[in-house]
Structure 1
Amino acid sequence: MRWIVYSLIVINLGIAGYFIARPAEDSIARPQDGNHGQGKTLVLLSEKQSGNLPVSQQPVRPDPGKKLCYALGPYLDDISARVAQARSLELGLTGLISQHKVPNLKDAEFWVHVRPLPSRGEAMTLLRKLQARSVDSYIITQGDLADGISLGLFRQKSSADALQKKVTGLGFEDVAIREVGSTTTEFWVEIREISKLDETMRRRVKAEDQDVQWQMVSCRHQPADG
């Protein structure tokens, strides 16, 4: 019986030695391709050079405290501007309408007048002197030129200049010319998303509109700081 026991002990020791000496292949991680299962490498925006970006996506450095917008205009009426605004909204852009007062020399008139005098009595005295010299004139009673004297309103600047020269030549002082009715309202469509507004998007917003163009401007509607 003893030899059976000894035989079993020897066999068990041999089996144990075999497994101890065998490499544990299942527990060793096999090297893999460094890109396997990782997908595309994430590249930080700061690692890209701005020179590799399209021109329309180049970062814009606004003046301190100011936001920049693309503006399409000028439109001469509110309805046309709102149609362009609707196109921008359909494209997922923030289209806002701003109004600007600009000189309108086409409809300007030129008012020749004597600047206001210290009192109404002095204005009346000067008025009589002007009329005595056959100069058409009347007292201005309202506004910032009250107690001044109106001499005439002209469409042509040259006509106003001629009258000013004539009255001054008669010995009267403080004859001036004011341009009146010389402003008109322009409408512009402002879009804040300048990085999205590439050439294709600008064409789609502008569509077939004539006599309007894109400009980079400081936003009239300044976005609230987030």
Structure 2
Amino acid sequence: MCLALGAFGEQDVASVRAALGKQGLKAKESVSETGGRPTGKHWVYLPPAADRAAANTRSLELKGKGFDNYVVANEPNKNALSLGLFSQESAARAFVAKLSAAGITGADIESRGKGIKQTRFLLDGLEPAEAGAVRKIAGQWPKASLQTRRCQ
């Protein structure tokens, strides 16, 4: 008998792997990434300045005009000015318009987030007792599916 168990998010993969290992079961892991949409956050920022001193000068200028911000310390956006993270793209665009009205140009919006990795565990050549152990393991994750599949 062959089964497919999953799909599991990254936070559960190690636990499922350990539960299968505890029963002496070996599984192939099939990882896929759901692409498409970002996580729904929109970052408003000013692109990186030439160096930290220039970024600090620009930061003070924005604070003087009433705009909170912070200088990004790490790559890939080192010395950029982070101005806010918005859940609605329309709110991010409105904020950029507000910046422009205050004479602050060059602000950009970047959609944040990435696809979500999902892992399925593929188990081949199971004896009835082993299949029962997999069913018990599957019961620990109520949202996970357990499907019979064609053996490879």
Band the TM-score falls in, shorter-chain normalisation: 0.5 to 0.7
Q: CA deviation at 1:113?
A: 1.5
Q: Is the 8 A contact 1:112 1:178 kept in 2?
A: no
Q: CA deviation at 1:161?
A: 4.3
Letter in 1 for 2:44: V
TM-aligned CA distance change 1:142 to 1:79, over 3 Å: closer
Q: Indicate the percent of aligned positions where both proteins have the same amino acid.
A: 19
Matched ranges for 1:1-226 at <5 A: 71-75=4-8, 76-77=11-12, 78-84=14-20, 89=25, 94-97=26-29, 105=39, 110-154=42-86, 156-158=87-89, 159-170=91-102, 171-179=104-112, 186-191=118-123, 193=124, 196=125, 204=132, 205-207=134-136, 208=139, 209-213=141-145, 214=147
TM-aligned CA distance change 1:189 to 1:176, over 3 Å: same
Q: CA deviation at 1:211?
A: 1.9
Q: CA deviation at 1:148?
A: 0.8
TM-superposition CA deviations, 1:150-180 (whole Å, max 9, x none): 11234x2344444234324544114223526
Q: Is the 8 A contact 2:46 2:82 kept in 1?
A: yes
Q: Is the 8 A contact 1:167 1:175 kept in 2?
A: no
Inter-partner Cα distance in structure 2 for 1:74 and 1:142: 33
TM-superposition CA deviations, 1:190-217 (whole Å, max 9, x none): 33x3xx57xx99x74345352223598x
Inter-partner Cα distance in structure 1 for 2:148 and 2:60: 54
Structure 2 gaps, min length 5? none
Which of the pair has more CA radius of gyration? 1
Count of equivalent residues: 136
Inter-partner Cα distance in structure 2 for 1:82 and 1:142: 35
TM-aligned CA distance change 1:161 to 1:189, over 3 Å: farther
Q: Is the 8 A contact 2:56 2:71 kept in 1?
A: yes
TM-aligned CA distance change 1:95 to 1:130, over 3 Å: same
Inter-partner Cα distance in structure 1 for 2:33 and 2:120: 11
Q: Where is the strand percentage greater, Structure 1 or Structure 2?
A: 2
Structure 1 gaps, min length 5? 1-55, 57-68, 217-226
Which structure is higher in RCO with an 8 Å CA cutoff and minimum separation 6? Answer: 2
The two structures, once aligned, show a CA RMSD in angstroms of 4.3
Q: Is the 8 A contact 2:96 2:107 kept in 1?
A: no
